[in-house]
Amino acid sequence: MRGPRPEPAEEPPDREWEQDLLLAAAYVSDAQYNRNVPFETSPRAIRLYYFYNHWTLRVATYVFICVDLSLALFEEPALFPLPFLATSIVEVLCLTAFFGRLVHFAKVTPQMVFWKDTKNICILVTIALTLLDLIIYGSLEAVQIHGIRWSRAFRPVFLINFPESRQIRRALRSLRNTLPDILYVFLLFMFSVLIFSLMALKLFGDRGLKTAEGSPYLTNILEIAFELYVLVTTANSPDVMMPAYDFNRWYSLYFIAYIIINTYIFMSVFLAVVYNNYRKHLKNEIRKLVYLKRHKMMEAFKILKVKVGTEFVVREAEWKRLARMVVPDISSSHLELLWRISDEGQKGHVDRMNFLRLADLLNIQVVTVNIRKHPLEAWAPRVYQSSASLFVQRMVRHRAFVWVYDVIILVNAIFIALDERSLFISRAEWFFLCLYVAEILLKLYTYEPRAYLGRKQFWNWFDILIIIAALVATVANATIQSARRYNSQQVLDIVLILRILRLLRVIVSIQRFRVIVTTLVNIGPTVLTFAGLVFVVYYAFAIVGMEVFQGKVRFFDPNFTSPDALVCGNPALRGSAFARARYCKNNFNDLASAFLLLTELTVVNQWHVIAGGFALATHQAAKLYFIFFHVVVVILIVNIFIAFILEAFFVAYSLEKSELETVIEKKIQELGVGIQEEEEQDKKPTDNVGSKDGGSSGGDGDHGGAAAKGLYCRIASNKYRTVDALLQRMFESEIAPDEEGPSLDEILSFSPSDMYVKNPNFENSA
Amino acid sequence: MRGPRPEPAEEPPDREWEQDLLLAAAYVSDAQYNRNVPFETSPRAIRLYYFYNHWTLRVATYVFICVDLSLALFEEPALFPLPFLATSIVEVLCLTAFFGRLVHFAKVTPQMVFWKDTKNICILVTIALTLLDLIIYGSLEAVQIHGIRWSRAFRPVFLINFPESRQIRRALRSLRNTLPDILYVFLLFMFSVLIFSLMALKLFGDRGLKTAEGSPYLTNILEIAFELYVLVTTANSPDVMMPAYDFNRWYSLYFIAYIIINTYIFMSVFLAVVYNNYRKHLKNEIRKLVYLKRHKMMEAFKILKVKVGTEFVVREAEWKRLARMVVPDISSSHLELLWRISDEGQKGHVDRMNFLRLADLLNIQVVTVNIRKHPLEAWAPRVYQSSASLFVQRMVRHRAFVWVYDVIILVNAIFIALDERSLFISRAEWFFLCLYVAEILLKLYTYEPRAYLGRKQFWNWFDILIIIAALVATVANATIQSARRYNSQQVLDIVLILRILRLLRVIVSIQRFRVIVTTLVNIGPTVLTFAGLVFVVYYAFAIVGMEVFQGKVRFFDPNFTSPDALVCGNPALRGSAFARARYCKNNFNDLASAFLLLTELTVVNQWHVIAGGFALATHQAAKLYFIFFHVVVVILIVNIFIAFILEAFFVAYSLEKSELETVIEKKIQELGVGIQEEEEQDKKPTDNVGSKDGGSSGGDGDHGGAAAKGLYCRIASNKYRTVDALLQRMFESEIAPDEEGPSLDEILSFSPSDMYVKNPNFENSA
C-alpha cells in the first residue's frame, strides 16, 4: 500500500517536486486511496523503482549511449580503425543494455502507459533495426560483399529518447510542428526560384556568355536552379551576376529583384514562421506543464485532506511528514521556516491554496546566514585585527584596487601583443603572473573564503582557475624548456590562450558590459540544448555522408609533391574551384572531418564550392545531399536558434521592466526572512551576507526566531532564471490560486491554437 | 476670426482628419474661441495656407528634389557628363525652390512652432552648406584646383525632411534610437574580435603557414582583425580556417568557437536589440499619435459644445456643418448615414464620446451598392439573356474554367522552357496569347466590368496588364522582325519576362498560397519605406565612394585585349582576388555603378574581396569605408528590415486569431449598413456586391432608408491593413472611450520606457 519513496534530493536548482509529492502523499496517507498512484505497490516493485532511479544506472545508460555513438569513430571509415567484429560486439552490448533498461522501465510503469509512450516504441524499433542491420552486414561481410551499415544513422535515437533529454525532444517537437506551416512557404519559395530560373534561361542562355572560369554561363535549367538556390544563401553573390552585368548593365536588375524577393523577403518569412511556431508551442508546453504540476498537487491534497470546520485542510503533522519524506535530509529549522511561510494564520493546518505551494516552497533555497568570521581571524585574531592587516584589507576593498588591476591587465595585453621571444618580455610575463597570484591571495585574505568562492561567484572562480592553470602551464613549460631545451607546442598554446582569456576580466569591471555578459552567460546552458539537437542532426548526416562520399576526396600533406595532392586524389576535381581553394581536407573520410565539414556547411559560405566538388567527385545528384542539409540545418535549426535567442532577450527585457513576484516571495518579504540574491551578487567582493541580518530581524518579535538562527530564504533574482522558468512564473501568476484547473485529459490535449485571446493586447502582443 | 479651410479631400485610404476638424471647428464656431488655433487667421493667411497645400506646389517640390538628387548622374564622375556650370545652375535653382517653399511654410506657421521643428533647421543648414560648397568649389575650379563637392552627400536631407516622407523619418528615428543600446553590444563584440585576434596572432602567427594563394597566413594583428571581422559576416568562411586546419586538426576548434560566439550569438543579439527597440519605439509613436489625435478632437469638442440638460453635446447642425467643411463634396445621403451612426438615441445631438469618433467615421468608405447591370445587358438585354449567352456566362463562372486555364498556363510553361527557335513553338506562343485574350474577354463579358476592374482586384489588373503588354510587345517584335529581319533584344527580353510572369497566376488559384502572397503584397507598400531609407543611405555612401574611389578601378570590354583589362586598369591589382574574380565593373565611376556595388556589399558575400581590391587600388585605410558601410547597412538597416517583416507577420497573425472590432464597426453592423471587404474579395470573380443587399436591408424599417438607397459602409477586413493601422486600432481599443487622456505636453514627452506595465502578460509578452 505504500508508494515507492523518491530519491534523496540531489538538489538541482529547480527540481519538479510534484510527482514525488504525489507519491509521498499516497505513502503518508493511511487511507486506501491509490487510484491515482499509477504503479504496483508491492515491496518488490518499490525496490525496482528505487533501483531504476538510482544514479549508477542512469550514469551507466549515459555511458552506453556515448559508447554507442562513438562507435562511428572506429568503424570504416574510421579515425581509429577497429575490426568489424570488435565494434559489432560492443554495439550488441550497448543494445543489450538499452533493452535491459527499457525492460526495467516497463516493470515500474503500468503497461498501458508504457506502450502509449512513443519514446519506448522508438527505442524498441531502433534496437530491432540495428540488430537486423548487424546480421545482414555481418553475413554479407562473411561472403566478402561490402554492405552498408545504414542503421548507424539511427543511433542518435537512443540519445533523444533518453528521459533526461527532454529539452532536445522539445526542440525536435518544435521543429516537427513548424514543418506544415513552413512547407507552404517553402513551396512558394521553390516556385519563385523556378520562375526566376526560367527567366534566366531565356534571358542569358543564348547569349554565349562565359563565367570568370571560362565555362558557359547559365545554359542549363537545372544548373541555373542550383545557382539561384545558392544565390539565396548569398554564397555566390556577385559572381553569378558578373557576366550578365558585364554584358549589359540593365541585367543587374534581374538579380536585384531576385535577391530582394528570395534572399531578403522569403528568408525573413521563414524566420517569422519558425519564430511564431516556436513561441506558440513553447507557451503551450509551459501551460501544459504548469497545469500538470497543479493537477498532481491537487491529487496529493485530495489524498491528505481532512475536514476542519467548513473547509478541507492538511494538518501540520501530515504536511511535515510529507516534506520530510520528499527531502529526507531537511533540517528541522528549515522545515519550521517553510511551515511558517505556509501556515498563514498559525492555525496548525494549511488550506488547499497554501498546500499547492509546497512544491515551490521546496525549491526555495534556504541559506544559513551568520556573520562568518574569516578563518584567519578565528585562528589569530590579534594579527588579523592589527592596524597593518586592517590597512591591507581596506586597500583591497577600495575601488582603486580594481582599477589598478584593470590597468595591469591592459599593460599585460600590450606585452602579449609584443614579440614574446625577447627575454625581457618573457621575464615580464612571470612578473605579471606574480601580480595576479598576489591579487588572489590578497582577496582571499580580505574576504571570507567561503563567501568569495560561493557557488554563484562565477567571475571569482574564473579568475582563480585561469591563474592557477596559467601558473601550472607556465611552470610546466619552463621545466620542459630547461630540461630538454625545446618548447612543447601544446603547452605553449594553452599558456597563450589562458593568458589572453585573462583580458576578459576587464569587461566585467564595466557595469554596462556586465549586464550583457550576464544575459549571455545565462543563455549558455540552454544553448547546450541546441548543441544536442545539432549533434543529433549532424551525426545522422555525417553517417550518410561517410557512406556516400568516403575516400572520394583525400587530403595529402602540403609537402607531398605527387600531382594527386593538388586534385585531392581525384582526377575529376582537376581545375575545379574545390581543388583550387585547397579544400581537400574538407571530406567525409572520418567522423571528425565529417562534423567539421558539416559545420562549414552550416556557416553557409562557399558551401556551393564544397557541394560542387563532391558532385564532381561522385555524381551531380550529390548536390541534393547538400541542399537537403541546408534546408534542414540552416532554414530550420538555425532559425529556431535565432528565435530562441530573440525570445530569451525579450523575456529578460520584459521582466527587467516589471516586478513579477510570486505569492511566496511576497510572503517571505512580509516575514522578513528573505534576502535578494542580487544583494549578494552585486557587491562583487562579497562581504559576508550577514550584514543584512541586523536590518531585517528588527521587524516583528514573533518571527524573529528563525531569522535569529540565521536561516533565510534566498529569493532568486530575475536575471538568474531561464526563459522556461520565467515563462512558467508568468503563467502561474495568471491562473487564479483557487482555480480548479482543467482535467488531466484536457491538459494533455491542449493545443496552441486555443490559447489566443479574443482581443490581442496592445502593450505586449505586437 | 476664421481658420483656413482644409483642402478638398483627395481621399487617401486612411487620412488623419483631426487637424482639419480642429480648424474647421474654430471656423464653424461663432465663439471667439481661438486659443487653440495656432495660426494667423487673416484672409491673406488663409489664402497662403490654401496655396501651400495645393497639389501643384507639392508635386513641384517633389520634382525639384528628384532633379537635385539626380544631379549626381551628371556631375563628375558622371554617367552623362555635363559642365559644372550647368549642374551648379540647376542646383542653385533647386535650392531656391526649397528655400521658397520653406519661407512659404514659415508664413503659414506660427514662428515658435516653425523654429522648434528640427526639419526646418535641417533644411536651412543644408541649403547654406550647399551654397558655401558651391562657391568654394566654383572659385577653386576657376583657378584650376580640383576641390571636393562634399555637400552632395547631404542632398538626401531634402528628401527626408519633406513633409510627406514621414515613414522614412520614422525609420531613421528608430535607427537613431537604437544606437545607444547597440553601441554597448557592438563594443563588446569588437572587444571579443580583438581578443580572438590576439589569440590568432599568438597561435598562428609564427607557424610560417601560407594561404591558398601563397601569401603569409595571419601574421599581422590588423590584418587578422579584418579577417576575423570578415569571418563574422561568414564571407571568408572556410578559407580563413583551411591553412590552420590543414596544419593541425585541433586548430579548427578555435574557429568554431569564434563562429559560435561572434557570428551566431552576437549577430542574433544585434537582431534582438534592434528588434526590441523597433517594437518599443513603434508602440510609443503610435501611442503618441493616438493621444494627439484624441487631444485635437477634444479641443474641437470644447469649441463646439453646448449644454443640453446636464451634459455637453454638439448639435446636429454644427456637426453637419463641420463634416461638410472638412469634406466639401460629401453627399447628403452619405452625411445622413454618418449622422445615423453617430447619433445613438436619435436625440439630435451627439455627446463627447460619439463626437470623438467623427474622424474615424470620415475614414469609413461609403460605397453605393446596387445591383449593377452589365453594360451589355443594358444595351442589348435580349441577346445578353439568350440561352447561348447564359450558357457562356455559366461556363465562365464555373470552377472548371479556372482549372482549365491553370492547365493551359502549365502547358505554356513547358513550351517556354523548350527551345523557342523552332517554328512550331513560336506559333504556339501566338496560340497561347489568343487563349489568354479570350479568357479576359469572356470574363469581361460575364462579370460587370467596373466590379471586375475594381480598385482592389489586384489579380485581375495583373492579368490584364500582363496580357496587354505581352500582346503589344509580341506584335511590336513581329513587326520589327518582318520589317528588318532582326529581333530587337530589348523587346524580346520584355516579351520573355511577361510570358513567364503569367505563371504567377497559378499560385493565386491555390488558396493556401494566396494567403501568403496576400500578406507579402500587403507588406509591399511599407517595404517601399525601407527602399527610401536605403536610397538615402546609399546615396550618401555613393557620393563619398565616388569622391574617394573614382577611376581607381576601370572596366574594359571583355574583348579588349590590353593587359590593363585583366587588372581593371590598375597595376596594383595584379594577382589580386578582385582582378581574378573579374570584378572590374564593380566600381565607383558613376552613380549607377556605385549603387550596384553598394547593393553587392549589402548582400555581404565577397565584400572582403571588393574591399580588398579597393584597398589595394588606393590605401589599406579604404577598408574602413567598407566596414563602416557593413555596420550601418547590414547590422542596422537590414536588421530593422527583418524586424519589420517579423512584426508585420506577428501582428497579422495575432489578429487572424482575434476579432478586433472598433465601436464604430459594431455600430455599423447593428444598423445593418455594413459590408465586409472580405465578402467582396473572396469570391474572386466579383459578382456584383449587391447580392448582400437583400439580406441586410431586411432588418429594421427605420434604418432601411439609407440602406435602400444603396449606401453601405465598407468595413476594411484585417488583411488589408498595415502594421501601423493595426497597432493604432489595437491601442485605441484599449483606452477607455471617456478617458480624458494626458495633456498635450505629457503626450509630446512620452517615452517608451514608461509604457511597460508592472506585470507582463503571459499570453502575449513572450
Single-letter code of the amino acid located at A190 = M
For Cα atoms A617, A618, A619, give the angle at the middle one, nearest 5 degrees. 120
Report pLDDT for A754. 57
Those of residues 658-697 in B touching chain A at CB distance below 8 A are: 658-660
Q: What band does B569 get if pLDDT is binned at 50, 70 and 90?
A: confident
CB–CB contact B272 A185 (8 Å): no
| Partner residues linked to B368 by β-bridges | B711
CB–CB contact A283 B417 (8 Å): no
Strands B365-368 and B674-676: unpaired
Over 60: is that where the pLDDT of B683 sits? no
For cell 567598407, what's the residue? Answer: B626
> Which of residues B392 and A512 earns the better pLDDT score?
B392
Residue of A nearest to B554 (CA): A246
Distance from CA of B339 to the nearest CA of A (A): 28
Please state the rounded mean pLDDT for residues B25-29: 66
Highest mean pLDDT among A492-496, B107-111, B154-158: B154-158
Strands B674-676 and B311-315: unpaired
Residues comprising chain A, all counted: 766
| Residue A723 touches partner B, C-beta closer than 8 Å | yes
C-alpha distances (whole Å) from A347 to each of A339, A340, A342, A361 are 11, 10, 11, 19
Report pLDDT for B723. 65
pLDDT digit string (tens) for A693-720? Answer: 333 333 333 344 444 445 666 655 444 4
CB A252 within 8 A of CB A245: yes
How many of the other CB atoms lie within 10 Å of CB of A11?
12
pLDDT digit string (tens) for A721-731? Answer: 566 776 777 67
Over 50: is that where the pLDDT of B698 sits? no
Cα(B258)–Cα(B264) distance, rounded to whole angstroms? 9
pLDDT digit string (tens) for A636-657? Answer: 889 988 888 888 777 776 666 5
Report pLDDT for A642. 87
* A365 secondary structure, DSSP code: E
Longest distance between any two alpha carbons in chain B, whole Å: 96
> Which of residues A230 and B491 earns the better pLDDT score?
A230
| Strand intervals (E) in B250-359 | 306-308, 311-315, 349-351
Report pLDDT for B129. 94
Cα(A596)–Cα(A615) distance, rounded to whole angstroms? 19
Rg of the Cα atoms in chain A:
32
C-alpha distances (whole Å) from A318 to each of A18, A156, A295, A311, B396 are 16, 45, 20, 17, 79
Report pLDDT for B257. 92
Report pLDDT for B10. 31
| Residue B269 touches partner A, C-beta closer than 8 Å | yes
CB–CB contact A238 B603 (8 Å): yes
Distance from CA of B22 to the nearest CA of A (A): 27
Please tell me which of the candidates A271, A581, A651 has its beta carbon nearest to residue B646: A271
pLDDT digit string (tens) for B411-433? Answer: 888 887 776 667 777 788 888 88
Report pLDDT for A450. 77
SS3 B675: strand
Please state the rounded mean pLDDT for residues B239-262: 90
Over 50: is that where the pLDDT of B4 sits? no
Cα(B157)–Cα(B165) distance, rounded to whole angstroms? 11
| Residue B291 touches partner A, C-beta closer than 8 Å | no
CB B451 within 8 A of CB B689: yes
Q: What average pLDDT is seen over chain A?
A: 78
Q: Encode A440-451: b = buried (16+ Cβ within 10 Å), e = exposed.
A: eeebbebbbeeb
Please tell me which of the candidates A241, A276, A646 has its beta carbon nearest to residue B653: A276
Over 50: is that where the pLDDT of A678 sits? no
Q: What band does A43 get if pLDDT is binned at 50, 70 and 90?
A: low
Over 50: is that where the pLDDT of A34 sits? no
CB B673 within 8 A of CB B707: yes
CA B134 to chain centre: 33
Lowest-pLDDT range of A232-241, A425-434, A489-498, B199-208? A489-498
Pairs of CB atoms within 8 A across A/B:
300
Please state the rounded mean pLDDT for residues B435-460: 82
CB–CB contact A497 B239 (8 Å): no
Please tell me which of the candidates A234, A279, A558 has its beta carbon nearest to residue B604: A234
* A367 secondary structure, DSSP code: E
User: What residues of B are in contact with residue A566 (Cβ under 8 Å)?
Assistant: none
User: What residues of A are in contact with residue B586 (Cβ under 8 Å)?
Assistant: 238, 242
> Which of residues B554 and A733 earns the better pLDDT score?
B554
| Strand arrangement of the beta sheet that strand A349-351 belongs to | A306-308, A311-315, A349-351
Instruction: List phi, psi (to 5°) of A349.
Output: -150, 160
Residue of B nearest to A261 (CA): B520
Please state the rounded mean pLDDT for residues A308-333: 81
User: What residues of B are in contact with residue A766 (Cβ under 8 Å)?
Assistant: 279, 283, 647, 650-651, 654, 723, 726-727, 730
CB–CB contact A645 B268 (8 Å): yes
SS3 B329: coil
Those of residues 178-207 in B touching chain A at CB distance below 8 A are: 184-185, 187-188, 191, 195, 198-199, 201-203
* B620 secondary structure, DSSP code: T
Cα(B124)–Cα(B102) distance, rounded to whole angstroms? 8
Report pLDDT for A705. 42
**CB-based burial label for B745 (10 Å; 0-12, 13-18, 19+):** exposed
Q: What band does A502 get if pLDDT is binned at 50, 70 and 90?
A: confident
Q: What band does B691 get if pLDDT is binned at 50, 70 and 90?
A: very low
Give B475's contacts (C-beta < 8 A, 6+ positions apart): none
Over 70: is that where the pLDDT of B722 sits? no
Over 50: is that where the pLDDT of B473 sits? yes
SS (H, E, C) A270-322: HHHHHHHHHHHHHHHHHHHHHHHHHHHHHHHHHHHCEEECCEEEEEHHHHHHH
pLDDT digit string (tens) for B161-179? Answer: 876 677 788 788 888 888 8
Report pLDDT for B705. 42
Over 90: is that where the pLDDT of B631 sits? yes
Residue A63, C-alpha cell as written in the block = 555511458
Residue of B nearest to A242 (CA): B583
SS3 B8: coil
| Partner residues linked to B712 by β-bridges | B367
Highest mean pLDDT among A131-135, A319-323, B291-295, B570-574: A131-135
Q: What percent of chain B has pLDDT over 70?
A: 78
Over 80: is that where the pLDDT of A625 sits? yes
Over 60: is that where the pLDDT of B762 sits? no
Residue of A nearest to B528 (CA): A260
| Residue B379 touches partner A, C-beta closer than 8 Å | no
Report pLDDT for A13. 42
Distance from CA of A442 to the nearest CA of B (A): 27
| Partner residues linked to A308 by β-bridges | A311
Whole-model pTM over 0.90:
no
Over 90: is that where the pLDDT of A544 sits? yes
C-alpha distances (whole Å) from A434 to each of A441, A578, B503 are 10, 50, 74
SS3 A456: coil
Give A348's contacts (C-beta < 8 A, 6+ positions apart): A315, A316
Half-sphere exposure of A329 (CA within 13 A, CB side): 5
Half-sphere exposure of A694 (CA within 13 A, CB side): 3
| Residue A257 touches partner B, C-beta closer than 8 Å | no
Lowest-pLDDT range of A236-250, B51-65, B507-521, B654-668? B654-668
Over 80: is that where the pLDDT of A440 sits? yes
Cα(A604)–Cα(A267) distance, rounded to whole angstroms? 14
User: What residues of A are in contact with residue B763 (Cβ under 8 Å)?
Assistant: 283, 734, 755-757, 761, 764-765
| Residue B332 touches partner A, C-beta closer than 8 Å | no
| Partner residues linked to B308 by β-bridges | B311
Please state the rounded mean pLDDT for residues B369-377: 69
SS3 A556: coil
Q: What band does A752 get if pLDDT is binned at 50, 70 and 90?
A: low
Distance from CA of B250 to the nearest CA of A (A): 10
Residue of B nearest to A414 (CA): B198
| Residue A44 touches partner B, C-beta closer than 8 Å | no
Please tell me which of the candidates A242, A501, A581 has its beta carbon nearest to residue B239: A581
C-alpha distances (whole Å) from A114 to each of A104, A125, A695, A745, B294 are 11, 14, 55, 17, 62
Nearest to A723 by CA among A666, A616, A647: A647
Rg of the Cα atoms in chain B:
32
Report pLDDT for B457. 72
CB–CB contact B606 A252 (8 Å): no
For cell 488583411, what's the residue? Answer: B719
Q: What band does A464 get if pLDDT is binned at 50, 70 and 90?
A: confident
For the four alpha carbons of A731, A736, A740 and A742, in that order, the dihedral sign comes to negative
Please state the rounded mean pLDDT for residues B421-447: 84
User: What residues of B are in contact with residue A202 (Cβ under 8 Å)?
Assistant: 416, 420, 496, 500
For the four alpha carbons of B40, B41, B45 and B48, in that order, the dihedral sign comes to positive
> Which of residues A744 and B386 earns the better pLDDT score?
B386
Q: What average pLDDT is seen over chain B?
A: 78
For cell 486600432, what's the residue? Answer: B729
Report pLDDT for A540. 94
Lowest-pLDDT range of A19-23, A57-61, A228-232, B373-377? A19-23
Residue of A nearest to B268 (CA): A642
Those of residues 494-533 in A touching chain B at CB distance below 8 A are: 496-497, 500-501, 503-504, 507, 512-513, 516-517, 520, 523, 527
Nearest to B546 by CA among B283, B152, B275, B268: B152
Highest mean pLDDT among A166-180, A601-615, B42-56, B340-354: A601-615
| Residue A655 touches partner B, C-beta closer than 8 Å | yes
Those of residues 577-596 in A touching chain B at CB distance below 8 A are: 580-583, 585-586, 592, 596
**CB-based burial label for B406 (10 Å; 0-12, 13-18, 19+):** middle
